Amino acid sequence: MEPQTPTERMIQEYVPGKQVTLAHLIANPGKDLFKKLGLPDAVSAIGILTITPSEASIIACDIATKSGAVEIGFLDRFTGAGGVDRRCLRRGVRAQAGHPHPR
């Protein structure tokens, strides 16, 4: 029997439920970034969230827009961007974590 070479494996599992994979706020982004995203350069920050399930991203968007002066640049199952202040971003993350009220 010939010796086998070790094989590297990566196992990924999707676990249904609320998950925030990425929550990032870009404060004062450069004009090039706005141009590449197709957004007006009149906002002071861009918020990026990756959330599962995809319906939860719509809920986070709703919470953010009702919590402050937020404009949604685009929203879909894979990417999201908009003018988001830190307080609104924190509320959206808390809501997805099951803690909708500030502590």
Q: What is the number of domains present in the chain?
A: 1
Residue range 14-72, pLDDT digits in tens = 566 667 777 888 888 888 888 887 777 777 888 887 777 777 778 888 888 888 888 88
CATH number of the structural domain spanning residue 69: 3.30.70.1710
Residue 2 in domain: no
User: What is the token pair recorded at 8?
Assistant: 């590297």
pLDDT the model gives residue 55 = 76
Q: What is this structure's pTM?
A: 0.49
Higher-pLDDT residue of 47 and 81 is: 47
Contact 60, 82 (CB under 8 A): no
Residue 25 in domain: yes
Residue 6 in domain: no
Residue 64 in domain: yes
Residue 13 in domain: no
Angle of helix 86-96 versus helix 54-67 axis, rounded to 10 = 140
pLDDT the model gives residue 81 = 44
pLDDT the model gives residue 91 = 66
Residue 1 in domain: no
Spatial CA neighbour of 101 closest among 87, 89, 91: 91
Range of the domain at 68: 19-96
User: What is the token pair recorded at 86?
Assistant: 């830190």
